[in-house]
Amino acid sequence: MTARVLVADDEPGMRDTVREILEAAGYEVVVASDGDEALARLGHGHFDVVLLDLRMPGRDGLSVLRTLGEARPTVIIMTAYALEDQLQAVGAKAFAVLHKPVPVPHLLDVVGPAAGKAA
């Protein structure tokens, strides 16, 4: 079965290119432009993996991660900011923390096992 991935990023260029890359790799992708939209999408469908940008207007990625609780999909944090964000995210049990700019082979290397873990 095709893995479903939610990509939540407020930057349209990032969101749309990541969506296209993951779709070309065989994933079914849904996008959200902020944390509230991400939570709304997550409330109305099953997702195997969520790619969450940390800094978004309104509800940010870590807030989304905390709201989701234990029965959440596998979460991968993407951030342009380093240490303090990373430690918080690891503490909140994200599957991985990726530092932007993320080379595409690295992104696919991490999303694959994350989708496998969720299956």
Partner 1 sequence: MAQERLAAIGELAAAVGHELRNPLGVLGNVVYLLRSRLGGGDPWAAEKLRTAERELAAATLIVADLLEFARPRPPVAAPHHLPGLVDEVLSVAPPPDSVRVETGWPAELAPVAVDRDQLRQVLLNLVTNAYEAMPAGGVVTLNAERQPAAVRLTVADTGAGMDDETRRRLFEPFYTTKTKGIGLGLAVARRIVEAHGGALTAESRPGAGAAFTLTLPSSPPVEEPDR
Residue 72 Cβ, how far from partner 1 at the closest point, in Å? 19
Decide: is 82 part of the binding site for partner 1 (CB under 8 A).
Answer: yes
Decide: is 103 part of the binding site for partner 1 (CB under 8 A).
Answer: yes
What phi and psi, each to the nearest 5 degrees, are found at residue 14? -70, -50
Contact 23, 29 (CB under 8 A): yes
Closer CB to partner 1, residue 69 or residue 105? 105
Decide: is 26 part of the binding site for partner 1 (CB under 8 A).
Answer: no
CA distances from 103 to 98, 109, 111 (A): 10, 10, 13
Q: How many residues does the chain have?
A: 119
Decide: is 102 part of the binding site for partner 1 (CB under 8 A).
Answer: yes
Q: Radius of gyration (Cα) for the chain, nearest Å?
A: 13
Tokens for 58? Answer: 């309104």
Stretch that binds partner 1, among 27-35, 40-48, 62-70, 74-82 (CB under 8 A): 74-82
Decide: is 106 part of the binding site for partner 1 (CB under 8 A).
Answer: yes
The SS3 assignment for 116 reads helix
Q: Applying CB under 8 A, which residues contact partner 1?
A: 11, 13-14, 17-18, 20-21, 24, 80-83, 86, 90, 96-97, 99-106, 109-110, 113
